[in-house]
Amino acid sequence: MNKKVLFLIILLSISAIVFVYNDDFLYSKTIMKITNIETIETDVSSNPLGLEEEHYTKEISGIITNGTHKGEKLTLDYEETFSSVVTDKYRVGDKVFVVSNEIDDLKRDFYLVILASVFVLFMFLVGQYRGLLAILSVIFNSLVFYFGLILYQNHMNLTLICIVESIIFMFSSLFIANGINKKSMVAILSTFVSMTVLFILTFVLIKCIDYSGINFNEISFITVPYADVILPGLFIGALGAVMDVAITIASSIGELIEKDSKISAKALNKSGKEIGKDIMSTMINVLFFTYLCSGLPVFVLAIRNGFSIFNYISTNFSLELTRFLVGSIGIVMTIPISIFIAIKILKKGSEISE
């Protein structure tokens, strides 16, 4: 049975990869497959700090693979740099988008599909059906999230959308992760209570001191007022970690009650805290590295442009730190809350069933 599913996954992945490699006809932009690259000029320029950078003017020729000009040859100039800060280094065999006779961007969907297929394969090999369910919940949650953004485009309040979405996320993720049972209900309730407290806390803090000390210049890609997106962003970012802690505590306390139904609430509280301590540190570190490493490229640019390291750190990691701190507060707060709720509900349940 498993072998059949594995075979099916591999077959689907390969066909997806082959399809995406040949899906040029789906794009309205012209796509060119590079057949030849020649360097026609090499230049050296330097920035105010005296760092020397090589620029290469390349003559790239290729064959158009879609649209009305399919099969025609095309030769374009492209300027590459050694650093590839804003340019790319193309190779023979690459497919690139061509917009008004200039190379616009690489066709990356092929690589994305390869990596996604490998990921699905790993998930199945290690997690079997649970792994596939995890992927399903991730896809479902992303779709819900995207649907919320469409609603936001139609002028609904983003904070409100995110709160409603979070409740959907709680149910979908926890039921899929753990099945529909009492432990999941406990986890959902704990997540709900913790997220409410966290939301009120952040909201009051923001209303009282109005984002003081946070540098908003570092929010990239901003097309809307920042006050619209910052609170929902903090909230959604913390949700996953809070759910993770809630389900871990709920299942371990459930496990303890199952093993020994006469266990006292005090003993449960103590073991719950022990487990909480163990997961607290690693969970906080997950958030820390997930958030903070994304600042690296701009950091390198700034240092290489002569910015002082201390000035840069103090002004430019503030938002990442806020995200990290809010998430961590969520994690730590969920520990006592979910212990309390788990003991109340699960203990009571086991007493009645006796």
Partner 1 sequence: MNKILLLILLMLMFYIDKKRGFKLFLSICLNFIILMIMFYFIAIGINPIVVSLIGCFIISYIILYFVNERNVKTESSMKSIIIVLVILAVIIFGMTIFSRIAGFGYESFEEINMFSYDVNIDFTNIAIAIILIGLIGATVDSSIAISSALFEVYENNKKLSKKELFNSGINIGKDILCTTANTLLFAFLGEFMTLLIWFESLHYSLGEIINAKTFCAEMIRILFSGMGCVLVIPITAYITVQTIFKLKKNPYLMHKEL
Q: Which residues in the 33-92 window bind partner 1 by CB under 8 A? A: 45-48, 51-54, 81-90
Identified binder of partner 1 from the candidate list 133, 163, 168, 263, rule CB under 8 A: 133
CA distance 293 to 57: 33
Identified binder of partner 1 from the candidate list 15, 72, 300, 308, rule CB under 8 A: 300
Rank residues 217 and 353 by Cβ distance to partner 1 and give the closer one. 217
CA distance 279 to 320: 22
Q: How far is the CB of 98 from partner 1 (least distance, A)?
A: 13
CB of 289 within 8 A of CB of 337? no
Identified binder of partner 1 from the candidate list 98, 249, 253, 283, rule CB under 8 A: 283
The closest of 83, 87, 88 to 47, measured between CA atoms, is 83
> What are the two backbone dihedrals, phi and then psi, of residue 62, each rounded to the nearest 5 degrees?
-165, -175
**Which of the stretches 71-79, 137-145, 262-270, 340-348 binds partner 1 when contact is defined by CB under 8 A?**
137-145
CA distance 320 to 214: 10
Under the binding rule (CB under 8 A), the answer on residue 167 touching partner 1 is no
Distances (CA, A) of 330 to 199, 235, 283, 338: 9, 9, 11, 12
Under the binding rule (CB under 8 A), the answer on residue 12 touching partner 1 is no
Footprint (CB under 8 A) of partner 1, residues 193-212: 201, 205-206, 209, 211-212
Q: How far is the CB of 168 from partner 1 (least distance, A)?
A: 12
Identified binder of partner 1 from the candidate list 67, 69, 284, 315, rule CB under 8 A: 284
Q: How far is the CB of 70 from partner 1 (least distance, A)?
A: 17
Rank residues 68 and 353 by Cβ distance to partner 1 and give the closer one. 68
Under the binding rule (CB under 8 A), the answer on residue 103 touching partner 1 is no
Identified binder of partner 1 from the candidate list 59, 288, 315, 340, rule CB under 8 A: 288
Rank residues 146 and 353 by Cβ distance to partner 1 and give the closer one. 146
Instruction: Please give the size of the binding site for partner 1, defined by CB under 8 A.
Output: 136
The closest of 119, 164, 117, 116 to 144, measured between CA atoms, is 164
Q: How far is the CB of 110 from partner 1 (least distance, A)?
A: 9
Identified binder of partner 1 from the candidate list 32, 287, 342, 345, rule CB under 8 A: 287
Identified binder of partner 1 from the candidate list 1, 40, 100, 297, rule CB under 8 A: 297
Under the binding rule (CB under 8 A), the answer on residue 267 touching partner 1 is no
Rank residues 74 and 152 by Cβ distance to partner 1 and give the closer one. 152
Q: How far is the CB of 119 from partner 1 (least distance, A)?
A: 5
Footprint (CB under 8 A) of partner 1, residues 225-254: 229, 232-241, 243-244, 247-248, 251
Q: How far is the CB of 264 from partner 1 (least distance, A)?
A: 20
**Which of the stretches 56-64, 67-75, 223-231, 260-268 binds partner 1 when contact is defined by CB under 8 A?**
223-231
Distances (CA, A) of 100 to 29, 104, 107, 140, 232: 10, 9, 16, 38, 39
CB of 99 within 8 A of CB of 69? no
Q: What angle do CA 66, 69, 72 make, to 5 degrees?
A: 100
Q: How far is the CB of 38 from partner 1 (least distance, A)?
A: 19
Q: How far is the CB of 120 from partner 1 (least distance, A)?
A: 10
Identified binder of partner 1 from the candidate list 164, 167, 197, 332, rule CB under 8 A: 332
Q: For every residue of 182-200, which 3-state class applies, written as one string? A: HHHHHHHHHHHHHHHHHHH
